Structure 1
Amino acid sequence: MDTRLKPETEKLLQASHDWMLRLEDPRATDEDRRRFQDWLDADPRHRDIYDRAITFREAFGRLSKDDFDDDLRRPSWRERFTAASDRARGLSEAARARAAFAGVLAVVAAVAVILPIVSGLPESMPVSALVSATHASGTGETKRVTLADGTQVTLSASTTIVAAYFLDKRHVRLTGGAAFFDVAPDRARPFSVEAGALTATALGTEFDVRSSAGVFRVAVAEGAVEVSFPLILNGRATSLVTRRSLNAGQKVSATSDAGLGAVSGVDPANVAAWRAGRLVYSGASIAELVGDANRYSTIPIEIDPDAPGIADFEVRGAFVGSDIDHLLMSIADIHPIVIDRSDPDRIVLRRRHGA
């Protein structure tokens, strides 16, 4: 059977893989996410191919060597994918991307052969019920979507999620921004949201997950959520995991430097206040606020690299996400910051002279 891909399909898969790597990189910017949304909207095939690429990676990354009969192991497609990833370690970034993509192509090209095998697996195999979908919102847009399991998700501005479903679990990856989840109850399949190294797991509840400037936040409006994050020792992540249990009216945050923080209280009415256009902060940094503001602003907002201390200034208060001018003027009134608009293509936050 000829399993070679058409050149056009291979080109779209290459583009999909490039977007996967870019969006999952901690250095991904709001501009990257805006360009990704534009790429998805440019052609219906883009979203379809991207969803399939995510599906194949999620599926074959979870198969074990016992999932196939011995006469089918020459070698398994999972082994080819893993081998490509292993070979990529230690290579340059460009070479690593090419090697990893070779693994994706090996998996996708094998679909014609593998699908009959997968469909014959026992019902206990998670991959037999796999569904994957990508949802994204535009700059300044709040978008409501319904996932395949009935879960209602509200996406904040410039936010992208990738949802994957298995017989034994439901998994969503938040690549940036914020999302509020009203989870459809299903005790047989826990619902988890991954943002960076943070994972929030619930059975049936309403909660908010935010990712901005390397800060990850979870707040619960109803029900209960378990949050996990790598244990940080001497400033480095370990293989150990720290966990916090949150109930309604509680929140927690995590960073790669400090790890998972202590649980604190929050007014349930203020959980995901951004759904009503309000950005509410209680001790957040300027860096985090700027990260959020960039999801609403049509002009990129930056912090002067020669004044890094600005990024750590603390912010408390509520702002209207759509009124970027008022937000910036407010923080300039509170802190020794000057809003530099001399460049029409960007807004720069600088330290006030003499401060």
Structure 2
Amino acid sequence: MKDTRLDVVEDADPIGTQAASWFARLHADEVSEEEQARHQAWLDAAPAHRLAYDRLERMWMMLGGFAATPEVEQRLASLPAPATQPARQPPQRRPRRMRWLAACAAALTAVVIGWRLFAPAPTSELRVASAVGEQRNITLEDGTEVALDTGTTLRVRYSARQRRIVLDQGRAFFKVAADRARPLTVDTAQGSVRAVGTQFEVYRLDNGLDVTLFEGKVQLRAADGSAAAVATLTPGQRAHMTTGKTPQVQNFQGGSAPAWINGQLVFEDLPLRAAVDEFNRYGGSPLRVKDAALGELRVSGVFRSNDSTGFVEALNALHKVSAHTNAAGETELSR
């Protein structure tokens, strides 16, 4: 193979330069926890930071085994440590590390593996979903265990430096494998949950996000990408997050895992409309509440998630709620 050294070009992309500096530093033999925290804070500071760094990681993955050649490793090691705050640079020609790394990857790819230069960038994203009425258990590559409740969709995005999961809909329970160098983050439109090694549940609702912690500790972060934690949970706490508002944290009485893992629904002074919504998530004949006043009836109890009939019978016995099947085939509740 010919010499892969390339000339430097003008630095017109300061974010790309910062990303390359971080990439070089985090590929060193020893990286302190403080540096890891600074790197995470830089990633969280702006979407453009994460995009630039992810592009570098994808390009690095395209190099495969050639990423470890002495020439490439030497150039990475020569990059200075990234500053906490990027300094303004005078308008002059200087090394552009981001383009050097991308160009190096392109050159190696073109010479050694040819067609891969034009192939789509590889991705480590894994999409997992459960159907209505189905529950699934998966184990990720790092040993993290995820239980998906009915009608849940998530995307797993792992890299050498971070573990991120996007919960698009539904509810999931996580048993996170400890990895202090790569905290696991669960992202939703309403906010994020950050953990190292812990057990927690994330439930994405129409009006917000519920996070329940069973073991360990988690940080809650706002949906605006801010690195600052808006709340920290300890075992036995549950938080409801709504965009733009302070999380509502309360204690709960529970075991070591959510009840739905064992096919149960536990209602504690819950409005009937919310209990009905929970049952409807599992399929079967839909339940409908006839009027708003009845929907505010408070209900408590433990029920099988696949036994809406038993739930209706309990409503009739305790609250004199009757049920009949309407023209649409729904079980309509009234009193």
TM category, shorter: 0.5 to 0.7
Alpha-carbon distance, 1:197 to partner:
0.1
Partner of 1:295: 281
CA contact (8 A) 1:213 1:291 kept: no
Alpha-carbon distance, 1:164 to partner:
1.4
Partner of 1:313: 297
Count of equivalent residues: 233
Return the match for 2:237 from 234, 250, 261.
Answer: 250
Partner of 1:39: none
Which deviations, in whole Å up to 9, do the C-alpha atoms of 1:274-300 show, x marking residues without a partner?
A: 111111122433333223212222233
Return the match for 1:154 from 147, 151, 158.
Answer: 147
Tell me how far apart the structure 2 counterparts of residues 313 and 61 of structure 1 sit (CA, whole Å): 49
Return the match for 2:160 from 152, 160, 167.
Answer: 167
Which deviations, in whole Å up to 9, do the C-alpha atoms of 1:294-342 show, x marking residues without a partner?
A: 22222333344xx234444333221111111112332454556443322
Which deviations, in whole Å up to 9, do the C-alpha atoms of 1:128-154 show, x marking residues without a partner?
A: 985111111223222111123321111
Distance 1:168 1:219, change over 3 A: same
Return the match for 2:261 from 275, 287, 290.
Answer: 275
Partner of 2:253: 266
Alpha-carbon distance, 1:264 to partner:
1.3
Tell me how far apart the structure 1 counterparts of residues 325 and 284 of structure 2 sit (CA, whole Å): 13
What aligned pairs does 1:9-24 form with structure 2 within 5 A after superposition? none
SS at match of 1:293: helix
What is the aligned-residue RMSD (CA, Å)?
A: 3.9
CA contact (8 A) 1:198 1:227 kept: yes
Partner of 1:328: 312
Identity %: 27
What aligned pairs does 1:33-44 form with structure 2 within 5 A after superposition? none
Tell me how far apart the structure 1 counterparts of residues 173 and 147 of structure 2 sit (CA, whole Å): 5
Tell me how far apart the structure 2 counterparts of residues 257 and 311 of structure 1 sit (CA, whole Å): 28
Distance 1:248 1:240, change over 3 A: closer
Return the match for 1:192 from 185, 194, 199.
Answer: 185
What TM-score does the superposition give when structure 2 sets the normalisation length? 0.58
Partner of 1:5: none
Alpha-carbon distance, 1:205 to partner:
0.8
Alpha-carbon distance, 1:215 to partner:
5.0
Gaps of 5+ in 2: 1-46, 57-101, 110-120
Return the match for 2:270 from 262, 284, 289.
Answer: 284
CA contact (8 A) 2:190 2:208 kept: no
- Greater gyration radius: 2
Alpha-carbon distance, 1:246 to partner:
1.4
CA contact (8 A) 1:129 1:166 kept: no
Distance 1:310 1:154, change over 3 A: same
Which amino acid in the other structure matches residue 248 of structure 1? Answer: P
